[in-house]
Amino acid sequence: MAAFGESKTMRIAELKLGVYLLRFLDVPEKFQRMQADTIAFLRKFDFSNLTVRRGAEHKLIDADELIPGDRVLTFGRLAAPVMIAKQEHLNVLIKVGFQQVLVVEPVRAQQPAANTSFTLAVPAQAPWAKVEPPKPRPKAPSVVIEPIAVESPPNEPSLKRKNDAGDLHQIQDNLSWAKRLAKESNQILEELYESNFINKEAVQATDQLSVEMAKLVEANPHAGNVRSLLKDEDEYTYHHSIDVAQYVISVCHLMQGYGGKQLASVAVGGLLHDIGKSKLPKNLLKKQTKFTPQEKELMRQHPQLGAQILSDLGYTDLQIDIAKHHHVLRQGGYPRQDYDKISNLARLTGVADIYQALTTKRPYKTTEVPGSALQTLLKLSKTQIDPRLVILFIKSVGVYPIGSTLRLKSGEIAFVVGKGTNTARPQIVPVIDKQGKQILHHQLIDLSDPEFAALTVDQPVDHREYFANEALDIFQNLSVL
């Protein structure tokens, strides 16, 4: 699948065939009062989160909930990007009366350019700084993935666009896709873990979902990360695997230019990195308190069990290496293995595994906000994990990760919606004012813009304290023009 460029606003008259429609930015007169034909039109596009006036009330509904008489105030996002493939499609949009839309165009994937100015303080003589890729197995599939070239990541694209909400809209446009994939992945992983034997059909379905995850990351690498941060948490084991896979492939795509089958193959390794836990007692996986020493020892068997499962099913050496060695550290970890003999992708999966565990709420531990979790990774990089991959991970998610929540010194609570040109001054949208009331009219603020120099970040905060389990829905429905 081709990668997508940045979203942009276009007039209907400027549209050409082959672009993908993301969002309608104006409300034609036809939709001032809904009738049967206009309701049918909107349902064809599978709209979600339409803001309508119904009598004296304002409601947020999906297209299938529309009734005659509703007045559309703002359009939400399409469930997935829709390609304008025929001239008839353009004619319909013109006839209906739309003026402006948000679109993306597919672009050919390019090899990332080297950025020789990026250096890391890694001693060249350090044994863990040298990585040998695993030798290819005869039965491995044809997809071959090179180790991550951590020495020279490409330049990040500039996000310097004052008052431009296009990046936020693109994330929002893909969140429904990200949520659907997470739900499907959760169902398949649950089937794998709950079975007393490995269900080959479910494993094959995991392969298909990995292709979809790769397509999502190519369309927008941040949407899945936002879902991972703000999700309503329930089945930890399954969501943990989904989140880890998402973080790993977003790093590989953003920082290394991975795409297509290569990216999907990495996603498989991420989704199945904990598959060995399917062989452990089910009550151990669902335990809500700390493990006893005996239970810890039992849990530490899962990497080797997982590697055996994937080996028996014919997965690649690299995917097996991810399952077997994602808990190996420079000093310790399990199973016992020299850190310099495991792949970069196994190490990166270990980094993502730690970050996801730190930022996810569990009854027996303190949850860290994303910024604090990144600081923990930096501390661990001094002795336990690869500092080069920690830097790549932080450059990918951002010093203030998109989807994280900040308190400003002026008292407002805001979502981070973009990295900005200054990593310490992200793009934000305030959602709670200094009196603690919800903000209804949202404004995108680029803190790196001199106009907002007086606004400063107080500290990252836990979104659960302010939004409970509604943070993801609130983020998805931020209305910024």
The pLDDT tens digits of the residues spanning 401-413 come to 999 999 999 999 9
Q: Is 121 a member of any domain?
A: no
Residues 92, 200, single domain; the answer is: no
Query: Does residue 124 have a pLDDT over 50?
Result: no
Q: Is 324 a member of any domain?
A: yes
Residues 308, 434, single domain; the answer is: no
pLDDT band at 47 (very low <50, low <70, confident <90, very high): low
Q: Is 117 a member of any domain?
A: no
- Of 257 and 305, the one with more pLDDT: 305
Query: Does residue 441 have a pLDDT over 90?
Result: no
Q: Is 55 a member of any domain?
A: yes
Q: End of a domain among 107, 141, 173?
A: 107
> Per-residue pLDDT tens for 331-368?
889 999 999 999 999 999 999 999 999 998 877 677 89
Residues 171, 278, single domain; the answer is: yes
Residues 310, 178, single domain; the answer is: yes
CATH of the domain at 207: 1.10.3210.10
Residues 152, 31, single domain; the answer is: no
Max avg pLDDT among 5-14, 118-127, 378-387 = 378-387
Residues 376, 411, single domain; the answer is: no
Mean pLDDT of the chain: 80
Kindly report which listed range (111-115, 236-240, 241-245) carries the lowest average pLDDT score. Answer: 111-115
> Per-residue pLDDT tens for 426-435?
999 999 999 9
Residues 215, 139, single domain; the answer is: yes
Q: End of a domain among 373, 397, 421?
A: 397
Domain enclosing residue 325, as ranges: 127-397
Residues 385, 454, single domain; the answer is: no
Q: Is 114 a member of any domain?
A: no
Q: Is 116 a member of any domain?
A: no
> Quick one: three-class SS letters along the chain?
CCEECCCEEEEHHHCCCCCEEEEECCCCHHHCCCCHHHHHHHHHCCECCEEEEECCEEEEECHHHCCCCCEEEECCCECCCEECCCHHHHHHHHHHCCCEEEEECEECCCCCCCCCCCCCCCCCCCHHHCCCCCCCCCCCCCCCCCCCCCCCCCCCCCCCCCCCCHHHHHHHHHHHHHHHHHHHHHHHHHHHHHCCCCCHHHHHHHHHHHHHHHHHHHHCCCHHHHHHHHCCCCCHHHHHHHHHHHHHHHHHHHHHCCCHHHHHHHHHHHHCCCHHHHHCCHHHHCCCCCCCHHHHHHHCCHHHHHHHHHHHCCCCHHHHHHHHHCCECCCCECCCCCHHHCCHHHHHHHHHHHHHHHHCCCCCCCCCCHHHHHHHHHHHCCCCCCHHHHHHHHHHHCCCCCCCEEEECCCCEEEEEEEEEECCEEEEEEEECCCCCECCCCCCEECCCHHHCCCCEEEEECCHHHHCCCHHHHHHCCCCC
* Percent of the chain topping pLDDT 70: 80
What's the structural domain count of the chain? 3
pLDDT at 152: 40
Q: Is 115 a member of any domain?
A: no
Residues 239, 190, single domain; the answer is: yes
Residues 88, 157, single domain; the answer is: no
Q: End of a domain among 397, 418, 449?
A: 397
Q: Is 354 a member of any domain?
A: yes
Residues 327, 359, single domain; the answer is: yes
pLDDT band at 120 (very low <50, low <70, confident <90, very high): very low
Residues 289, 388, single domain; the answer is: yes
| For residues 239-254, average pLDDT | 94
- pTM equals 0.69
pLDDT band at 89 (very low <50, low <70, confident <90, very high): confident
